[in-house]
Amino acid sequence: MRVIRSFVIAFSTYSRIPMPQVKWSDENRRYAMCFFPLIGAVIGLMLWGWLWLCDKLGMGALLRGAVGALLPLLATGGIHMDGFMDTSDALAAWQSRERRLEILKDSHVGAFAVMGCAGYLLLAAGLLGEAAAADGPLLLCAFMISRAMSAWALAAFRSARPKGMLDAFAQAAHKRMVAVSCIVYAAVCGLVWAFFGGWLALVCPLTAVLCLVYYRHMAYRHFGGVTGDLAGWFVQITELALTAVIVFGR
């Protein structure tokens, strides 16, 4: 039952998929991050189905890409895009770490956040407008691996805000199980990329690792560690980078 409650907490926190209510406790959150990548799998299945429908109906690139870019926002409620926008504002402010952390917590939306979100969605729509149903399995793994690596970083990287939401999950998480589950997800993604993408089985993992390395460098240098908003930024950046690799590399 504890594992099921962790599953429910993961989906109720990081998606808009209806879930039953469970008690928000450290015990119930213990394995929540182990299920975080499954939300990516659900998004990937939604996108795969949409691309299949577009192929069958002969839909053009504009509608294909626009809906494809919006599907992750519909599934997650925009929680990761919110982090991406907050981080865009904070990175644009060339100030101290303390001030940047304050900007992350600020509920107001700045100009750089708006420009960052608009640019991101335009680029995502453009890339997905060139995708086809055959890319579905590859893209599904992109959404999974971004969340698997984000979950691993939660357990492995230093927290910039000891009392933040991300740190609360980190303190409650069974870090060994999170690491093991992330290895399993990475292995599954590698096999899928090898089977459906050929040489992309090398390029996609390399791209994801490079995103992770830059994430750590950026977070430690500018913020002193990772936060929930920075984790959202990482998920978005990794998904976009992998989408570009898959679309241009197939």
| 3-state SS class at 207 | helix
Q: What is the pLDDT of residues 146-191, one digit of tens each?
A: 999 999 998 888 887 766 555 555 555 567 788 888 999 999 999 9
| Confidence at 50, pLDDT banded by 50, 70, 90 | very high
Q: What is the pLDDT of residues 72-117, one digit of tens each?
A: 999 999 999 999 999 998 988 877 788 888 888 877 888 889 999 9
| The pLDDT of residue 174 | 63
| The pLDDT of residue 151 | 92
Six-digit token string for 81: 């895009």
| The pLDDT of residue 219 | 93
* Interval 43-53 mean pLDDT: 97
* Number of separate domains in the chain: 1
CB pairs under 8 A, 24+ apart, for 72-77? 72/43, 72/47, 72/143, 72/239, 74/16, 75/15, 75/16, 75/17, 75/39, 75/42, 75/43, 75/46, 76/14, 76/15, 76/16, 76/39, 76/43, 77/15, 77/16
CB of 31 closer than 8 Å to CB of 3: yes
Instruction: Name the residue among 142, 107, 153 with its Cα closest to residue 37.
Output: 142
Q: Would you call 206 exposed, middle or buried from its count of C-beta atoms within 10 A (0-12, 13-18, 19+)?
A: exposed
Task: Tell whether the model's pLDDT for residue 60 goes beyond 70.
Answer: yes
Amino acid identity, residue 186?
A
CB of 231 closer than 8 Å to CB of 204: no
Q: How does DSSP classify residue 33?
A: G
| Domain encompassing residue 125 | 2-249
* pTM recorded for the entire structure: 0.91
| The pLDDT of residue 162 | 66
Six-digit token string for 175: 């870090």
CB of 79 closer than 8 Å to CB of 12: no
Give how far Cα 38 sits from Cα of 53, 97, 168, 177, Å. 23, 33, 21, 15
**Alpha-carbon gap, residue 16 to 169, rounded angstroms:** 19
